[in-house]
Amino acid sequence: MGRYYHGTIGGKFWFGVQSSYDASSFKDQETNKIPIEYFEYYNCGCQVEKTQNLYCNQCYSTYQEHYDDLDDDDKENIDDEEDDDAEDDDAEDNDKKKLLAHPSGHIKYEFDESDLEYIKLILSKLESEIGIDVITQLNFTIDENENDEFEYDINNDVVKNIDDIKAELIARWCLGKQIKKAIDTVEYCTIFCEI
Ligand SMILES: [Zn+2]
C-alpha cells in the first residue's frame, strides 16, 4: 500500500501528511500549480492527456469502432458519467459522444531550470520553519536508485515523534530537495505521481 512517485526522482509520499499534489508547492505561477492529469482509454489501456481524442486513434479508426469493442461494464461506466453532468446539458446531448477513457490514477509534473529560483526560495522558507537543528538531524542523503531515479534517505528516528504539521513540512522539503537535485544534475525533473 501507499502512493508512489517515479520519473527523474522516485519515492513514496508520506502517509497521512503528504498530498500527491505536493509538487505544486514548488511552482510559482498559480496556473502552473495544476499538474497534467492522465486518462486511460477503456479496453486498449493507452494513456493520454485529457485534451486528446474521445477515442484512442492509435488503436481504432473510428469512435464507433472503439465504443463497440468495450465490454458492458465499461459502457455502463461511461453512461454513468453522462448522468453526473446531465443537469446543464440539453436533451439532445444524450447522443453526444463521451470520452472513452477514465482517470489513470496518476498525474505528471515537469520542472526545469526556469523553476530553480522559486524552488530554492521555498526550500529556504521550509528550512526556517522546520528548524536547522532538525534539518541537520535528518541526515538527508540523495542517490540514484536501480531505476536511475534520484531517491533520498533520511534518519527516520527523527520524524517518529514529530507532529503532523512539522512532518508535512519535512516531507515537502525532502521532495523539493529531490526536484532540485534532478534539475542541478540533468536540467529537468519529470514526476509521475499516484493519486
Ligand atoms: Zn489505444
Distance 53 CA to ligand 1 centre (A): 11
Distance 184 CA to ligand 1 centre (A): 36
Task: Flag residues of the chain having pLDDT under 50.
Answer: 85-86, 88-94
In this prediction, residue 147 carries a pLDDT of: 93
In this prediction, residue 80 carries a pLDDT of: 75
What letter would DSSP give residue 38?
A: E
**Whole-angstrom Cα distance, residue 56 to residue 19?**
31
Distance 191 CA to ligand 1 centre (A): 23
In this prediction, residue 81 carries a pLDDT of: 67
Contact 189, 113 (CB under 8 A): no
Cell numbers for 7: 520519473
Distance 101 CA to ligand 1 centre (A): 10
Of 107, 106, 123, 108, nearest to 184 by C-alpha is 123
Q: 28 Cβ partners below 8 Å, 6+ apart? A: 115, 118
In this prediction, residue 24 carries a pLDDT of: 98
Distance 57 CA to ligand 1 centre (A): 7
In this prediction, residue 90 carries a pLDDT of: 47
Distance 51 CA to ligand 1 centre (A): 15
Distance 41 CA to ligand 1 centre (A): 6
**Whole-angstrom Cα distance, residue 50 to residue 171?**
29
Distance 39 CA to ligand 1 centre (A): 11
pTM for this predicted structure: 0.82
